[in-house]
Each structure stands twice: as structure tokens, then as C-alpha cells.
Chain A
Amino acid sequence: QVPLQESGPGLVKPSETLSLTCTVSGGSINNDYWSWIRQPPGKGLEWIGYIHYSGSTNYNPSLKSRVTISTDPSKNQFSLQLRSVTAADTAVYHCARLLRKAAAGPHFDSWGQGTLVTVSS
């Protein structure tokens, strides 16, 4: 397990772009898969997407047209951009490490505590 910490604005205006960064401590981002997950108030967790250190990505089709996940290996960080946000994008956003083991299947073994992003004018 590795410590993860999200950072970014807590308030975003409708139609603008939500941008968050996750800093990975105690381990290199040049391994494994790195993911973003969100939880709207009073609802369940929703997977947004993941990026492999090689640069390959996989996004939730429900958000794919608006999402970009990228890495900055020099800072041991990965980032989320969600474009054209609406009030429905208000949520706690978590970053997480996704382990993909053939026998065990994909699971999130390390999580950030999350950051609340509110979409409002």
C-alpha cells in the first residue's frame, strides 16, 4: 500500500473543467495502474477511469467523452480533468492504486481520503 493525496479546487463553475492531482508517496508511479473514483453525496462509488504508467488509459464509457487522466512521472503524480461539468459532477473524488493480478483480479489496494468538489456558480 502507498499513501495517496488528492489536491485541487473545491469549487468549480458549471461548464468549466474540473482538475485534480494525486500525489503518490513512498512508491514510484512508474509501476501499476492509477485510478480516479468518485462518490456523489448520498450515492455509491463510481469508477471514472485508470491510467497505466505506460500511458494507456481506460475510461468509464459514461464519462469517456469528458475525461482525461494523465501522469507526471517527474513529480510522481497523476491527474484528472473532467470537462463541461454540471451539478451532477459534484462528488468526493478519490484517487487510488489499481492492482491487476491475473488470479486475484483488479482491486484498489491504496486510496486517498478524497476531496469534495462542488459544481456551482
Chain B
Amino acid sequence: DIQMTQSPSSLSASVGDRVTITCRASQSINRFLNWYQQKPGKAPQLLIYAASSLQSGVPPRFSGGGSGTDFTLTITSLQPEDFATYSCQQGYSTPITFGQGTRLEI
């Protein structure tokens, strides 16, 4: 199985800040890396697919980058609704695996 490791596990920030979350794969996954946002009691939302493609309807302050084993999710100018948990997911091979999540807090 491909292991996905996110850092940091939690992050404190303020409205207007720029933050970057990192996801590392245990082997190369090309660009088959996706990012999701989760809020308590809500359906997870796809933000970024294929490492850097913005899902329809997602604000452009979200961006993704990377390839191979190292990937980033960057949020510029944090908004109050962005405080949530973010998870990465590899689609290179089955079993599909996720990172452990990064909790973004005020």
C-alpha cells in the first residue's frame, strides 16, 4: 500500500493568512493526488484533483502543486469558512489511500 503522510497534523492561522499543507507519498504517484476539505457533520468536498486542477466551484484562493512524492495545498487569504480539516488522497494504485488529515484552526 502507498502511505500518505501529511504535515503538519494541525495548524493555527488567522483570517487573511496564507497557509501551506504538505502531503508526501511513500512512492512516486505521478500527479494522481487529490485534496479534500472536511467540516464536522458535512460531506467532504473535493478541492483539487490531479495535483493542481481546481474542482469546479472551488474558490481560486485554493491551489495545489507537486508531482512524484511531494505535494502541497496552499490557501491564500484565509477566510472564516476555510477552517476545517484537509486530507490528501492518492489515486495512483489500489488500495486508494488517504493522508491522516490536517486540522486548520483559528
**Judging by beta carbons under 8 Å apart, are A111 and B44 in contact?**
yes
Given A107-B49, A108-B36, A109-B55: A94 in contact with B87 (beta carbons within 8 A): no
- Chain B 7-42, CB-CB to A under 8 Å as 1, else 0, gives 000000000000000000000001110101000011
Task: List, in ascending order, chain B residues with CB within 8 A of A14's CB.
Answer: none
The 4 closest A-B pairs by CB, nearest first: A105-B32, A106-B91, A44-B100, A105-B91
Residues of B within 8 A of A (CB): 30-32, 34, 36, 41-46, 49-50, 53, 55, 87, 89, 91-92, 94-101
8 Å CB contact of B95 from A4, A61, A112: A61
**Judging by beta carbons under 8 Å apart, are A105 and B100 in contact?**
no
Instruction: State the main secondary structure of chain A at its contact with B.
Output: strand
8 Å CB contact of B98 from A45, A58, A106: A45
**Judging by beta carbons under 8 Å apart, are B45 and A111 in contact?**
yes
Task: List, in ascending order, chain A residues with CB within 8 A of B45's CB.
Answer: 111
- Chain A 41-70, CB-CB to B under 8 Å as 1, else 0, gives 001111100000000001011100000000
Name 5 extra pairs, CB < 8 A, besides A45-B101, A105-B34. Answer: A46-B98, A107-B50, A110-B43, A112-B43, A114-B41
